[in-house]
Chains A and B, each alone.
Chain A
């Protein structure tokens, strides 16, 4: 064999630039993103089918059974799988940026596989029509045992991630005594602590109520207790989605928009306040439930109103950061800076459009959280429309924009199909506006949520809803198109993107940073604030849970109507 024959073959497609060594956690980050993207794609297809069904348009295989299976799959895959895996990917990227590596990489991989196995287990039973219990899995609707066990494994896997994030945060603090960690690391650690606290509720529900009941070890379950434990977890789950989105808004958006973060200390306060206040608010989801004294519902209402404060601070800080960016780009006048923002940058447009929708979602949340007004919108289409503006827009649209920014960095590949990436956020905005705004109006007119057909035997009121549900269905089709674009861009980038050196992650600079940088302050003491959060949760839940456990309890057998 000649010497030439053993020379390595160099592809003509090999980039001329030398690729940097891959960061150690990038494969794990990509694995999490893969799961998130695939879950998102499947869930989006389910959603379009539901929107068309609710407009009373005939579809092949349309039935109540198919509808409730698809609602369950959509809810679980979007709200629990897409979000959780993307948040874990983002967290690992933040930790790696902070310390150069992530703690316990083998353990983190094991937790990833555990969570993925749980997802396969749970969603497999859904697609087998054995677990049409919707994503809230309220008993006495009963799912297959593997549904509950699978979701529990997903939560346990995410606990591994949370532990890893807290260790990364501690290492970063230890490496720079007296100096705060980056705002992104601070936000990630606060979110991990929030998650550990919040998931205690759902863990208790799964282990003590639903799994034994679904296995037949006990014959009945207490729906009230189960609902209370679910909402112990269910509302902070919203903040588990929103905090990483806020982290992107604070630490990535200002730089991508061409400016600086208006105030970093405000950001630290915001994330710490969310850690403290996110959990003792769940009873505002149970205003119409019996068995919980009105006083405790009022206490949770107060907490809910207080938690709007960090969101309002965020609104101010982010808009001010954008104003700085817009003015530095030549914008003048009271609102001229809005026009000069880089609306063609997919990350920026995703966040801006998500924020616009979130402004409406925030207003809707204030209606939901008011005891009297909640009775107007309870169990109507308003509720589904509302949370599609929070998790479906502020969080999901930010995650999609963040994926356009993050995936090239962790894959070493150029973003593919850039035109689709530019168009996609606008399609999502239009589709979501059509879907959600009509849902809000129809909800105020009394259209129930979670019904697969809205004709109600040709009732007169149902005719009034028809136009709204048809527009909503059109929104669903546009949303599906947008989701398809996102999945195509992700697959194109991950599988076929040109390999090129990518710019590293650089967080946004803050205005007003003192010479020599910030010093550690009270808001950075997350361990202390975690203890405060635990105490507040104990105050908010100890007596209501004690009451539920000691009042006369009425168990229910399981029902599987679909």
Chain B
């Protein structure tokens, strides 16, 4: 990983937080659609 310029935090902590939040939302939304829309609709045939 590249070093941050002098005077800045050692690691891109804001990026970790941003990307982490996005991945968490991504997973939650994906499973939300899977559980609350796809599974909730039930099979089309018994």
Instruction: State in angstroms the CA–CA spacing of A512 and B2 once bound together.
Output: 5
Q: Is A334 at the interface (CB under 8 A from chain B)?
A: yes
The one of B2, B8, B17, B34 that contacts A327, using a Cβ cutoff of 8 Å: B8
- Does A430 sit at the interface, judged by CB under 8 A? no
Shortest Cβ distance from residue A337 to the other chain B in the assembled complex, whole angstroms: 6
The answer to whether A373 and B3 have CB atoms under 8 Å apart is: no
User: Do residues B4 and A319 form an inter-chain contact, with CB atoms below 8 A?
Assistant: no
0/1 interface trace, chain B 7-33, chain A, CB 8 Å (1 if under):
011001111011100100110011001
Q: A373 near B15 (CB under 8 angstroms)? A: no
Q: Contacts A262-B12, A324-B12, A512-B2 known; A373 to B17 CB distance under 8 Å?
A: no
Q: Which positions 298-330 of chain A face chain B at CB distance < 8 Å? A: 312, 315-316, 319-320, 323-324, 326-328
Given the contacts A316-B15, A335-B17, A263 and B1 also touching, CB distance less than 8 Å: yes
Interface status of A366 (Cβ within 8 A of chain B): yes
Q: Is the CB of B2 within 8 A of A315?
A: no
Which residues on A sit within 8 Å (CB–CB) of B3?
511-512
A444 nearest CB neighbor, chain B only = B37
B46 contacts the other chain (Cβ, under 8 Å)? no
For B4, give its contact among A315, A335, A511 (CB under 8 Å): A511
The distance in angstroms between the C-alpha atoms of A510 and B4, with both chains bound, is: 11
A363 to B33, alpha carbons, bound, how many Å? 11
Is there contact, CB below 8 Å, between B19 and A262? Answer: no
Q: Could you say which residues of chain B place their CB within 8 Å of the CB of A327?
A: 4, 8-9
Cβ of B22: which chain A residues have Cβ within 8 Å of it?
315, 359
Give A233-266 interface residues, CB cut-off 8 Å to B. 260, 262-263
In the complex, whether A367 has a CB less than 8 A from a CB of chain B is yes
Known: A323-B14, A335-B18. A373 touches B33 (CB 8 A): yes
Pairwise interchain contact B34-A334, C-beta atoms closer than 8 A: no
Tell which of A319, A328, A333 touches B18, judged by Cβ atoms closer than 8 Å. Answer: A319
**Knowing A363-B26, A373-B33, A511-B2 touch, does A320 contact B9 (C-beta < 8 A)?**
no
Given A263-B1, A263-B2, A359-B22, the answer on whether A323 and B34 have CB atoms closer than 8 Å is no
Asked if A319 contacts B15 (CB within 8 A), the reply is yes
Chain A contact residues, majority secondary structure: helix
Given contacts A319-B19, A320-B12, A327-B8, A363 and B1 within 8 Å (CB-CB): no
Judge if A372 is at the interface, Cβ distance under 8 Å.
yes
A376 at the interface (CB under 8 A from B): yes
Interface digits, A482-514 against B, CB 8 Å rule (1 contact, 0 not)? 000000000000000000000000000011100
The smallest C-beta distance from A25 to any residue of chain B, in angstroms, reads 33
Query: CA separation between A338 and B38, bound complex, in Å?
Result: 36
- Cβ–Cβ contact B38 & A373, under 8 A: yes
Closest to B34 in A: A373
Q: Tell me which of B5, B13, B26 contacts A334 (CB under 8 A).
A: B13
* Beta-carbon contact of B38 and A324 below 8 Å: no
Q: A263-B2, A372-B38, A511-B4 are in contact. Are A337 and B33 (CB under 8 A)?
A: no
Contact partner of A328 (CB less than 8 A), chosen from B5, B14, B29, is: B5
Inter-chain CA distance A319–B17, complex, in Å, is 11
- Give A144 to B9 CA distance when docked, in angstroms: 61
Q: Is the CB of A511 within 8 A of B5?
A: yes
Please, which residues of chain B bring their CB within 8 A of the CB of A375? 38
Q: Could you tell me if A260 and B5 are in contact, using CB atoms closer than 8 angstroms? A: yes
Q: Considering the chains assembled together, what is the distance between the CA atoms of A163 and B8 in angstroms? A: 44
- In the complex, how many angstroms separate the beta carbon of B21 from the nearest chain A beta carbon? 10
Shortest beta-carbon distance, A484 to chain B, in Å?
A: 32
| Chain A, range 40-74, C-beta contacts under 8 Å to B | none
**What chain A residues lie within 8 Å of B33 (beta carbons)?**
367, 373, 376, 444
A366: contacting residue among B17, B19, B30, B38, CB under 8 A? B30
When the two chains form their complex, are residues A320 and B15 in contact, meaning their CB atoms are under 8 A apart? yes
Considering only CB atoms, which chain A residue lies closest to B19 in the complex? A316
Q: Which residues of the other chain, B, contact A335 by a CB distance below 8 angstroms?
A: 14, 17-18
Closest chain-A Cβ to B18's Cβ sits at a distance in Å of 5
Within 8 A of B (CB), among A325-354: 326-328, 333-335, 337-338
A320 to B15, CA, bound (A): 5
**Beta-carbon contact of A366 and B26 below 8 Å:** yes
Q: Report the bound CA distance from A240 to B18 in whole Å.
A: 27
- Some 26 contacts from A to B, beta carbons below 8 A apart, are A262-B2, A312-B19, A315-B19, A315-B22, A316-B19, A319-B14, A323-B12, A324-B4, A324-B8, A326-B14, A327-B8, A328-B5, A334-B13, A335-B18, A337-B14, A363-B26, A363-B29, A367-B30, A372-B34, A373-B33, A373-B34, A375-B38, A510-B2, A511-B3, A511-B5, A512-B3
> In the complex, given contacts A319-B19, A328-B8, what are 5 additional A-B residue pairs having Cβ atoms less than 8 angstroms apart?
A316-B15, A326-B14, A337-B14, A363-B25, A367-B33
User: Which B residues lie at the A interface, using CB under 8 A?
Assistant: 1-5, 8-9, 12-15, 17-19, 22, 25-26, 29-30, 33-34, 37-38, 41
Top-3 shortest CB links A-B: A512-B2, A511-B2, A320-B12
